[in-house]
Chains A and B, each alone.
Chain A
Amino acid sequence: MIDHFALSQAFGLLFASFEPWLWVVPGLLIGLIFGSIPGLQISMAMAVFLPVTFGMDFLQAMLFLTSIFTGGAYGGGVTAILMNIPGSSSSIATAFDGYPMARQGKHNEALGLGLAASVVGAFVGYVLLLLLINPLAALVLKVGPMEMVVVVLWGLTLIATLNDSSLSKGLLAGFFGLMLSQIGMSTTGVMRTSVGNPHLLDGISVVPAMIGIFAASELLRLRGSAYLVQDEAQRDIAFSRILRGVGETFRYPGVLVRGSLIGAVIGAIPGVGSSVANLVSYGEARRTSRTPEIFGKGAPEGVIAAESANSSSEGGSMTALLALGIPGGAATAVLLAAFSFHNIVGGPSFIRNQTEVVYSIILGNLGQVLLLAVIGLLMLRVLGMVVRVPLAYLVPSVLAMCAWGGYGITGTVAGPLTVAAFAALGWLMRRNDYPVAATVIGLLLGRMMEGELVRTLQISNGQPFNYLFERPMALALFVFMLMVLVGAPLLKALRRRKLQQAGR
């Protein structure tokens, strides 16, 4: 599986001098800062700093850009935990339990949990990439629209488990999100509706909508409180408590490993990646937990599942880039641009002819992950200070940043207005116990679902069910999903009934 000669050459490339590592720490810091400011995205940071890499050699440039990627992935989780603002769609599930933990005064522990899960997840993702880059690349090539439909369906099933008060409200919130995803031009080019607004031709921009419905609507509700954490004694930033959170992560090895594996596999699918991986991982953690009722109210397992999956998906997303030369998302597209900057073409010939460079990129990323643990621990003390700011000042400031963030993503007034509209929708939903997360999931996955369904219909000549039986991978995924969703709860109920009968 591993070319040992190339591996030893890779060690030589990485450790013969300090130069490849020179830009790793600045890259991690840039990523952490961009990731933790709402509206500034990792891909944006990578694009801004891409010209800087022109003077670097290829390996140094790759390590610099991937360190921004690694730092940014964790930075998005920090704001999700402290302010309920997922930095990107890959941190949505982190906010589900991270933010309730922060409000209970467990922000130190939540940040520690997130950091440890991110480090372990990213580490597992890159180790899998190192071991399985060739078979994974072959697997990615076999993924077609039918397989994507099954994966997206899996992500959508989370909607049914997210309900603050009743199942019908959770479903309504999720299906309304799906309906909103249908605004704008369809995937086949039919102009459905844009309400006469050219900004809506491509549909609703998901990140500003997410900022509005998650963060802005919550900030409106916080207005009456004095601090984010009510208990003064809990408001401190304690290194020991962050470390306790780090330690607590390893009390849930199953959640950690499962999240990392889900992230690595789903992350390897171009276009789906980390957005779905963190949701699927969270949903699975909740379904298999002994205490599913505490999910959404500050369950450590929820934070671990989400963060481990979104971090390991980073390794997964590099699979398609390195092995096939296909960018799985915006961040890997910038990496592909860096490839062309240095006259390198990704794909099978790159792996075959420059295996040592591929290995050194992967090994360099493993090193970055370890450095993230140190830098993250040092930075968390600064980032965690937000709980000490009086809400009278924090609420309008973060609201202003939310609007700026909306503009930073779209570049037009449509961004801030989307934030405002979804803030109002989120406020109405929260006030009446509707889960806002379900709407975001519907909005995020709806368009993806439509595109894959249409492609499946076209390929299958309108016979999707017959086509399913011609796709062994899709069929296997579908059967596995059914077993997990229907079989596992049935088995659990059966076991409970047997135990009750034995008790009598």
Chain B
Amino acid sequence: MTTRFPATHAALLGVVLAISGFILWSAVSASTSLNNLVVVAPVAAVLGVLLPVILASALRKPAREDVGSGAWGDLLLLAGFSAFCLALTHVGFDVATFVFVWAGVVMSGGRGLWQPPLYAAVFTVVLVKGFGSLFPYPMLTLVF
């Protein structure tokens, strides 16, 4: 499907607008002193000019491919990665890493029935015993 303004571009500009607007509103609500707004206010003004300029130039450009099938795969892996990040301190670093690496290898095209889980298990042990032992913080684990 072709579109003049790809959904991912609209999403990005929406994110920039929403986050910048929120930071500006929050900063102005907290204090209107020069010291507090010395960076926020000029940056918001420049972003306020740039956003419509980019929007107008994107709308003037010829139509291009919208989110392709590859993008859905990326988004699926990204969702899995976000869930993994959240799970680290909830289900344990070892179990979360094992499941994520196994699923990630399969999603990225790793073949075979036993190779992905075996690799994930070995990788997890190396990470927990190697990387984890160097952490200066306590690390929640379920098995090791």
Contacts and interface: CB of A to CB of B under 8 A. Distances in A.
Interface of A: 34, 37, 39-40, 44, 47-48, 166, 168-169, 171-172, 175-176, 178-183, 186-188, 190-193, 195, 216, 220-221, 223-224, 226, 390-393, 395-397, 399-401, 403-404, 406-408, 411-413, 416-417, 419-420, 423-425, 427-429, 431-432, 434, 446, 449-450, 453-454, 457-458, 462
Given A182-B23, A190-B31, A223-B73, A395 B104 contact: yes
B2 interface: no
A52 to B, nearest CB: 14
19 contacts: A37-B131, A39-B131, A47-B136, A168-B57, A175-B46, A176-B47, A179-B24, A187-B35, A224-B70, A393-B110, A406-B85, A408-B135, A412-B89, A427-B78, A428-B12, A429-B12, A450-B39, A453-B39, A457-B34
B136 A44 contact: yes
Contacts of B26: 192-193
A404 B139 CA distance: 10
Contacts of A192: 23, 26-27, 30, 36, 40
Contacts of B44: 179
Contact of B36 (A47, A188, A401): A188
By size class, the interface of chain B is 35 or more
A501 to B, nearest CB: 34
Closest 7 CB pairs of A and B: A396-B104, A193-B26, A416-B85, A411-B137, A392-B110, A392-B108, A428-B12
A182 to B, nearest CB: 5
B22 interface: yes
Given A396-B104, A408-B135, A450-B39, A220 B77 contact: yes
B50 A400 contact: no
A182 B78 CA distance: 26
B101 A403 contact: no
Interface in B66-98: 70-71, 73-74, 77-78, 81-82, 84-86, 88-89, 93, 97
Interface string B15-53: 110011011101100110111101110011011001101
A408 B51 CA distance: 36
B138 to A, nearest CB: 8
B11 interface: yes
A176 B85 contact: no
Given A416-B85, A420-B82, A391 B34 contact: no
A396 B100 contact: yes
A417 B20 contact: no
A392 B131 contact: no
Contacts of B40: 179, 182, 192
Contacts of A403: 81, 84-85, 88
Given A48-B134, A397-B123, A179 B23 contact: yes
A428 B11 contact: yes
Contacts of A404: 88, 93, 97, 127, 131-132
B22 to A, nearest CB: 7
B6 A432 contact: yes
B71 A176 contact: no
A40 B127 CA distance: 13
B54 interface: yes
Contacts of B34: 457, 462
Contacts of A462: 34
B119 A220 contact: no
Contacts of B73: 223-224
A420 B81 contact: yes
B50 A172 contact: yes
Nearest to A38: B131
Given A221-B74, A392-B110, A171 B105 contact: no
Given A171-B46, A399-B100, A419-B85, 13 more contacts: A168-B50, A179-B43, A193-B26, A216-B81, A392-B109, A399-B104, A407-B93, A407-B137, A411-B135, A424-B78, A432-B12, A457-B35, A462-B34
Contact of B77 (A188, A223, A393, A400): A223
B107 interface: yes
B8 interface: yes
A408 B53 CA distance: 40
B47 A454 contact: no
Contacts of B33: 188, 190
Contacts of B139: 407
B86 A413 contact: yes
Contacts of B111: 392
A383 B108 CA distance: 23
Contacts of A427: 74, 78
Contact of B12 (A179, A395, A434): A434
B9 interface: yes
Contacts of B97: 400, 404
A424 B101 CA distance: 19
Contacts of A417: 82, 85-86
A10 B105 CA distance: 55
A446 B42 CA distance: 12
Contacts of B81: 216, 220, 399, 403, 420, 423
A275 B111 CA distance: 42
A413 B89 contact: yes
Nearest to A399: B81
